[in-house]
Amino acid sequence: MSAEPQLAAVEPLPVRTEADATHRAVERYGQMVFGVALTHTRNRGDADDVFQEVFLAYHRRQPMFNDDEHEKAWLLNATLKLAKKANSTSWRTRVVPISDDVEVPQDSFEFATDEQQRVFAALSSLPENYRTVLHLFYFEDQSVKQISEMLGISEAAAKMRLSRGRALMRENGGLDDE
């Protein structure tokens, strides 16, 4: 008698869903998106909103990318656009500052060290084009070439923004003299 051949059970390939792609993007780039949003909005609540909007757009559109750098650039540009939009809302432009004698609670986050708090404050006081380049260079470890490609500027412009941004940070007390 011949025995029938036994076929090994084959596991089906896992189905990749939109949620899987979004989850991977959040794990991989979430800190970058939140960091850029925070440096541009200067407010944790607004940074949270920008973070959510960026990944909601990512999830809904499911864009196709050539490589990881293309994906990172898309997320960075989306973050910058949404942070700019958050900063230009009618609520922000029409709000009247409270007088100096009223104590206003500060955002509910603190950095681990005084130095980090000082660097963040100095970075937040810079114009947007310097904040972006400095954040990408120091916090995201991007090279000048990568920054220039992400922002669509020349390498010389990226270097100039880094140099001028560092000088302004020193003036604002955020960087020690090198």
Read off the pLDDT of residues 58-83 as tens digits, 9 standing for 90 and up. Answer: 999 988 888 888 899 899 999 989 99
Residues 169 and 126 reside in one and the same domain: yes
Q: Is residue 5 part of a domain?
A: no
Domain that holds residue 41: 17-89
Read off the pLDDT of residues 92-134 as tens digits, 9 standing for 90 and up. Answer: 555 555 555 544 444 545 667 777 777 777 887 888 889 889 8
Residue 21, classified by CB atoms within 10 Å of its CB into exposed (0-12), middle (13-18) or buried (19+), is middle
Q: How many domains are contained in the chain?
A: 2
Q: Is residue 162 part of a domain?
A: yes
Residues 21 and 54 reside in one and the same domain: yes
55, 25 contact by CB (below 8 A): yes
CATH of the domain at 143: 1.10.10.10
